[in-house]
Chains A and B, each alone.
Chain A
């Protein structure tokens, strides 16, 4: 797919739909549109496709836990066989205008700075990079990319540490931003979410106490195979999951349920139990929300493997030997201070700024800061502008895909009516 990027640079392109965001929603929408014979342009800010889902591990134990992470690969392989879309990685929407029913936009494209063909994956660059997360590996079998959001050069600070150490000369700087003119009849915003910043819940000690991680970090460690129980001094014996970190918390501006975290935590816990049967697992919750179909069965099975404690801890502090200690009120009304080897904060879904130019039609935000759409729909109040997936509000992978299917049919309907010259 990457080979397609270079072909149409600087060419004025006309396609039916401009899709902003190449996460699971954008990709599935792209595929659904392709199935309907509609051509689209996919613009993704990151140097790789898949968004958050590309960091998720397969959570199968003896059987599939239906977490949905593998769906991404399905879509990528399906899409690589269709010619009905143009892909722009490392790109952002520069300017935007609307003439009649046509949207036109300039997409600015930053060149990916590691040349894939030359890179031999020695990993030296990530060792010298001063910024954490500037060199990303979206999945364990992919090569490294430079994240244009985090690299010092992209924010105007000169740094060539990685280019100097690279033995293959695969890293190149100084490429100018290229701009591509795009025209489309409809726009779909699939910009997704941002995970809740767990440092805002300061009492839980995230980034302060060793051994406190978020579900996303654990997921990513499991995916890349970097999760090493042996790294713990006495081995990994106990793991706690804390629910509702950044969900159902009006104090921190998140007065909504993130809908996915209970499922994520229970699946991760069962995966850990399956791999390391001697681990003691506890889940601290206020109530378990099972939005998914037949999730109650998974929950029943999980209750044999995991201790569910109906209490939200007041604090997580570091013990004398620098392990996280969870302070909570137990089922017997006694105050408990329990040490764990690892505490996983089940972070919620927070709204993300879609980072669109000012000339873009103004989108309304709902109470929680997500992009508002008509209820149970994907229309955003402007003819031709659609919003799907987690940009609208917390959604699971399955919900995002079903919304893409809805969006595809709505877009098809819109384009057909526009072609027939109907008043919209």
Chain B
């Protein structure tokens, strides 16, 4: 494993994560590894290890966490949260971390593309003539896109800051 440069650690990072909604339980972790054992992603990609992510956050490895691509691998299955004896609610902690990453403009390209789709169409999949024709034949009402709300929710700059 790469060396950790103590000078680059951010001692405030854990507090920032813990202050986010859902991040509250972060500091209660005992490192018992029940979450990692329950995680379906960890066997596929060892970089995504709930226990290690918590350790990294507690150490203050802000850049290594927020700028990584592995934090986006969480499948939100809530398995970790289910087995945690300490009520850490790790899936919620992951949302807190991902929100912080978005604020720091550390979103992966895929998510940025999804964001612009939402802004443009108000939904992740564009509905065009073809789909509405099919719906008409099946006797279903047409779908009208309402991107207006999303324009308000997702401002122009892709970072959201």
Partner of A311 from the list B33, B46, B79, B85 (CB cut-off 8 Å) is: B33
Q: Is the CB of A313 within 8 A of B85?
A: no
B43 in the interface (beta carbon within 8 A): yes
B143 in the interface (beta carbon within 8 A): no
CB proximity of A16 to chain B, nearest CB, Å:
45
A234, B70: Cα distance in complex, Å: 44
Q: Is the CB of B85 within 8 A of A310?
A: no
Residues of B within 8 A of A251 (CB): 84-87
Residues of A within 8 A of B30 (CB): 248, 286-287
Q: Is the CB of A311 within 8 A of B32?
A: yes
A320 in the interface (beta carbon within 8 A): no
- Which of A53-61, A294-302, A325-333, A375-383 faces chain B? A325-333
17 contacts between A and B (CB under 8 A): A248-B30, A250-B85, A251-B84, A251-B86, A311-B34, A312-B32, A312-B37, A313-B37, A314-B37, A329-B33, A329-B37, A333-B36, A333-B46, A334-B43, A335-B36, A335-B37, A335-B43
Q: Is the CB of B83 within 8 A of A314?
A: yes
B132 in the interface (beta carbon within 8 A): no
Minimum CB distance partner of B51 in chain A: A329
Partner of A248 from the list B49, B79, B85 (CB cut-off 8 Å) is: B85
Minimum CB distance partner of A203 in chain B: B83
Q: Is the CB of B42 within 8 A of A335?
A: yes
A121 in the interface (beta carbon within 8 A): no
- B: interface residue count bin: 20 to 34
Residues of A within 8 A of B32 (CB): 244, 286, 311-312
Q: Is the CB of A328 within 8 A of B37?
A: yes
Q: Is the CB of B37 within 8 A of A327?
A: yes
Mark A residues whose CB is within 8 Å of B. Answer: 203, 244, 248-252, 286-287, 310-315, 327-329, 333-335
Closest 4 CB pairs of A and B: A314-B38, A314-B37, A312-B32, A286-B32
> Could you count the A-B residue pairs with CB atoms below 8 Å apart for me: how many are there?
62
Q: A313-B34, A335-B37 are in contact. List 12 more A-B contacts (CB 8 A).
A: A286-B33, A311-B36, A312-B32, A312-B34, A314-B34, A314-B38, A314-B79, A315-B83, A328-B33, A329-B36, A329-B42, A335-B42
Q: In chain B between 49 and 108, which residues have their CB closer than 8 angstroms to a CB of chain A?
A: 49, 51, 79, 83-87
Interface centre among B31, B85, B87 (most CB of A within 10 A): B85
Partner of A249 from the list B35, B46, B51, B85 (CB cut-off 8 Å) is: B85
CB proximity of A200 to chain B, nearest CB, Å:
12
Residues of A within 8 A of B79 (CB): 314
Minimum CB distance partner of B28 in chain A: A250
Partner of B85 from the list A244, A329, A335 (CB cut-off 8 Å) is: A244
Partner of B86 from the list A248, A287, A335 (CB cut-off 8 Å) is: A248
Minimum CB distance partner of B52 in chain A: A333
Residues of B within 8 A of A310 (CB): 33
CB proximity of B92 to chain A, nearest CB, Å:
14
CB proximity of A251 to chain B, nearest CB, Å:
5
Residues of A within 8 A of B31 (CB): 286
Q: Is the CB of B33 within 8 A of A250?
A: no
Minimum CB distance partner of A243 in chain B: B32
A165, B128: Cα distance in complex, Å: 82
A248, B83: Cα distance in complex, Å: 13
Residues of B within 8 A of A313 (CB): 34, 37
Minimum CB distance partner of A336 in chain B: B37
